[in-house]
Amino acid sequence: MQNPKIPGFDIPVHNIYCIGRNYEQHVKEMGSPIPKMPLVFVKPLGTICYNDTTISLPIQSNDVHFEAEVVVAISKSGKNISHGSAMDHIAGYGVGIDLTARDIQKLAKKQGHPWSIAKGFDDFAPISEFSPVSEIENPDNMDIKLFQNGFVKQHGNTSEMIFPIPNLITFLSKIYTLHPGDLIFTGTPEGVGPVSSGDKLEVLLNNGVKSLTVNIG
Ligand code: MG
């Protein structure tokens, strides 16, 4: 199987890094402590799907939640990337949904187990087309909004991140060599909630510069 491509760029997705608890209001709604360093997990490649996908809910969960997130695409390799050069490693920005089987995640948290199952079902990381960096005036001020069946459920801005984008790149690159095609899901703002069969989810970056629509089957 070939790796799925990043829409808008002619490069395959490499690794999918995700940041948990990166917006204070979301941390509070989950009843979690404010992190002292970025909370990192990864998703398998089978989670990637695209605009207009109808996503099947896994039979193992009765409580799948949406988490709208700004997604960063990496353009060039690097290890131990400095804060000053972090932004030079970015190809562009899109939006995605970090779908999460909340019931499975809650049990995993209680048992001290990893989140790989809760976060890793097929199609659990739909992504929009990406904008090149030149199209985004200020990455520290990107607006993200999620609509569920036409109603706004999440509205955040990258200015509210606990760990801003360059800090995430610096942090991740101390652990993992970053490569072109790596994606970073940068965390979700408050307002996460459950999806139901028949739902339509729409996520907008900067009021529609890029958008993602998926249906829940
Ligand atoms: Mg998330």
Domain assignment of residue 11, yes or no: no
Distance 67 CA to ligand 1 centre (A): 5
Distance 98 CA to ligand 1 centre (A): 5
Distance 143 CA to ligand 1 centre (A): 16
Domain assignment of residue 10, yes or no: no
- DSSP per residue, the chain: -PPPBPTTSSSB---EEEEES-BHHHHHHTTPPPPSS-EEEEE-GGGEE-TT-EEPPPTT-S-EEE-EEEEEEE-S-BSS--GGGGGGGEEEEEEEE--EEHHHHHHHHHHT--SHHHH-STT-EEB-PPEEGGG-S-GGG-EEEEEETTEEEEEEEGGGBSS-HHHHHHHHHHHS-B-TT-EEE----S--EE--TT-EEEEEEGGGTEEEEEEE-
Domain assignment of residue 197, yes or no: yes
Domain assignment of residue 9, yes or no: no
pLDDT tens digits along 63-72: 999 999 999 9
Domain assignment of residue 3, yes or no: no
Distance 85 CA to ligand 1 centre (A): 25
Distance 18 CA to ligand 1 centre (A): 7
Distance 205 CA to ligand 1 centre (A): 16
pLDDT at 152: 98
Distance 121 CA to ligand 1 centre (A): 14
Distance 188 CA to ligand 1 centre (A): 5
pLDDT at 2: 83
Residue 164 structural domain: 16-216
In this model, does residue 1 exceed pLDDT 80? no
Distance 153 CA to ligand 1 centre (A): 15
Domain assignment of residue 110, yes or no: yes
Mean pLDDT of the 84-111 span: 98
**Average pLDDT of the chain to the nearest whole number:** 97
Distance 96 CA to ligand 1 centre (A): 10
Domain assignment of residue 8, yes or no: no
Mean pLDDT of the 172-192 span: 98
pLDDT at 10: 84
Distance 206 CA to ligand 1 centre (A): 19
| Domain CATH number, residue 103 | 3.90.850.10
pLDDT at 167: 98
Mean pLDDT of the 44-52 span: 98
Distance 88 CA to ligand 1 centre (A): 24
pLDDT tens digits along 121-163: 999 999 999 999 999 999 999 999 999 999 999 999 999 999 9
Q: What is the number of structural domains in the chain?
A: 1
Q: Is the pTM of this model over 0.95?
A: yes
Domain assignment of residue 137, yes or no: yes
Distance 80 CA to ligand 1 centre (A): 24
